[in-house]
Amino acid sequence: MHGLIFFYIQKFAEVACTGTASWVIARSNDNATTAQYLPSGVYPDAEAVELLQAIARSTGRPLPLILEQFGEFLAPHLLKVAAKYVDPGWRTLDLIERTESIIHSMIRNANPGAAPPVLETVRPSPDELHLVYGSSRQLCPMAKGLIRGLAMHFGDRITIDESSCMLRGDPFCSFILQLEEIDTHATRSPRVDTTVFLPAGAVAPPPSPAADVPHLPTTIGGYAIEGVIGHGGMGRVFLARDVALDREVAIKMLHPERCRDRVARERFLREGRAMAAIDHPHVMAIHQVGEDHGQPFIVMQRLRGCTLREYCDSIERMTLPESLRIGREIAEGLGAAHRNGLVHRDIKPTNIFLQDPRRTVKIIDFGLAWGTAEGSSSITVDGAVLGTPAYMSPERIAGHEIDATSDLFGLGVVLYELLANRLPFDGISMVAVLAAISRGHPRELAEFAPHLPDDLTSLVMRMIAFDKADRPGDADTVAAELATIERSLA
Q: Tell me the catalytic residues.
A: 346
Residue 71 identity (one-letter amino acid): G
Q: How far apart are CA 80 and CA 87, in angstroms?
A: 12
Exposure string for 189-211, b = 16+ CB within 10 A, e = fewer: eebeeeeebbbbbbeeeebbebe
**Backbone angles phi and psi of 214, in degrees to 5:** -70, 150
Distance CA 122, CA 431 (A): 9
Q: How far is CA 168 from CA 173, 400, 437, in A?
A: 9, 19, 18
Distance CA 82, CA 100 (A): 12
Catalogue the E-assigned strands of 104-199: 118-125, 128-134, 156-164, 173-182
Bond prior to 39 in cis (omega within 30° of 0): no
Which residues are CB-contacts of 293 (< 8 A; sequence separation ≥ 6)? Answer: none
**Helix count and strand count (H, E) for the chain:** 17, 16
C-alpha distances (whole Å) from 315 to each of 72, 118, 180, 359 are 48, 37, 37, 14
CB 388 within 8 A of CB 368: no
Distance CA 468, CA 460 (A): 13
SS3 assignment for 444-461 = CHHHHCCCCCHHHHHHHH
The values of phi and psi at residue 225, to 5°, are -85, 130
